[in-house]
Amino acid sequence: MNDKFSKIIRFIKELYPDENPVPLHAPRFMGNEKKYLNDCIDSTFVSYVGKYVTEFEEKIKNFANIKHAIAMVNGTAAIQIMLIAAGIKKDEEIITQSLTFAATAAAIRHASAYPVFVDVDKSTLGLSPESCEIFLKKYTKKTKNGLINKVTKRKIVAIMPMHTFGHPVNINEIKQICEKYGLILFEDAAESLGSYYNNNHTGSFGKASVLSFNGNKTITTGGGGMILTNDDDLAEKARHLSTTAKLKHPWAFIHDAIGYNYRLPNINAAIGCSQMEYLAYILQNKRETALLYDKFFSEINITFFKEPKNAISNYWLNTILLNSQDERDAFLKYSNDLAVQTRPAWTLMTYLKPYSDCFRIDVPNAKWLEERIVNIPSSVRINNENQKR
């Protein structure tokens, strides 16, 4: 086993020869970031009022082919505001996946709703349409007040899949389920900027979605998020609520709702504007890395997770599947001891104490994946040429 592990470490260090330790996913600044930051500082408009916020929103909405993009301080806040602006009410339930980052579930609770955890598909790593159907058929009933969870007595209002590690879920089937049961479709597209399903960008299939620009994402603003939507009313409410719900007035401070100070600062957006200028290069570089990994792992009989059917993935975090939890843990220790940063999948939401009062069904696929997934270094590979970009 150690011979196989040593081959992996040697190959990764060949891909990232100048990095020690080799990071899991480091940000790259190869363009106008410093220039735009200096311009932002010189302008004194460093908070959420400034030209770079507007420009960043324009760049994202044009790239994703969406009508509205509203920049937020992070992806978690973006989900919370998205749900509130969409009219999600206290104690309503939203179906989501058990294999996801904690922010998905946390943001649902921040909006005073409850997540319901179902299984994922091994072919996408994301929410399973079949598991959704199992839950809806077995545990819900239609009433004059809507779809009710027969166990919790709460109203079920939406489904929110997450595109895990940038790999699109089977969103068309999930959308059909939403239409069948009268549910709203939201997307947690935090990890999937540059990913497509049937040639449509992730985050463009439902009522609204979110992106994340955390320091380890495909592009970064340091911290940041974005709501994407084609719904004019939702977009207007999201902008208003996230800007302290202040009514426009030359000098008076009048707030017509309990608002949130969640808008992305101009200084962060300045970084995002520069990153967007070479997003195409980033995606190309990451795809080339994924192809190199795929060829290497096929030669040593380890499963490298590839983009699902009908999808183009951004390969945000490259992923391998080992044979067991013991092998996973052994490799995690071996690689990190040798200064190659790797990590497992997240602990399933169904096992976390903060969500013990949330309804869940059996999640055998998620459990199987959790025991085997290892994320491996996925940064843009740099050389002398692209360092000069």
Q: pLDDT digits over 315-353, tens only?
A: 999 999 999 999 999 999 999 999 999 999 999 999 999
- Ranges of CATH 3.90.1150.10 domains, the chain: 2-27+278-346+362-387
Task: Give me the sign of the Cα torsion angle 260, 160, 276, 382.
Answer: positive
Average pLDDT along the chain: 96
For the structural domain made of 33-276, what CATH number should be given?
3.40.640.10
Q: Is the pLDDT of residue 289 over 80?
A: yes
The token duo for 65 is 């082919």
E strands of 55-183, at which residues?
68-72, 93-97, 114-118, 140-143, 146-149, 155-159
Give the pLDDT confidence of 38-49 residue by residue, as tens digits: 999 999 999 987
Q: Which band of pLDDT confidence, cut at 50, 70 and 90, is reported for residue 1? A: low
CA pair distance 373, 300, nearest whole angstrom = 17
Place of tokens 């978690």: 76
| Those residues with Cβ within 8 angstroms of residue 126's Cβ, 6 or more apart along the chain or in another chain | 97, 120, 161, 162, 163, 164, 167, 168, 169, 170
CA pair distance 77, 104, nearest whole angstrom = 10
| Those residues with Cβ within 8 angstroms of residue 325's Cβ, 6 or more apart along the chain or in another chain | 371, 372
Q: Is the pLDDT of residue 194 over 80?
A: yes
Q: Which helix (H) or strand (E) holds 57?
A: helix 51-64
CATH 3.90.1150.10 for domain 2-27+278-346+362-387, yes or no, is yes
* Confidence (pLDDT) at 384: 53
Alpha-carbon distances, residue 302 vs 13, 206, 252, 296, 326 (angstroms): 18, 35, 63, 9, 15
Q: Is the pLDDT of residue 169 over 50?
A: yes
What's the pTM value of the predicted model, to 2 decimals?
0.96
| Those residues with Cβ within 8 angstroms of residue 11's Cβ, 6 or more apart along the chain or in another chain | 296
Q: What is the DSSP string of 354-374?
A: GGTTS-B---HHHHHHHTTEE
CA pair distance 112, 177, nearest whole angstrom = 24
| Those residues with Cβ within 8 angstroms of residue 92's Cβ, 6 or more apart along the chain or in another chain | 113, 114, 154, 155, 156, 157, 158
Give the pLDDT confidence of 206-238 residue by residue, as tens digits: 999 999 999 999 999 999 999 999 999 999 999
The token duo for 142 is 């239609």
- Ranges of CATH 3.40.640.10 domains, the chain: 33-276
Q: Which band of pLDDT confidence, cut at 50, 70 and 90, is reported for residue 388? A: very low
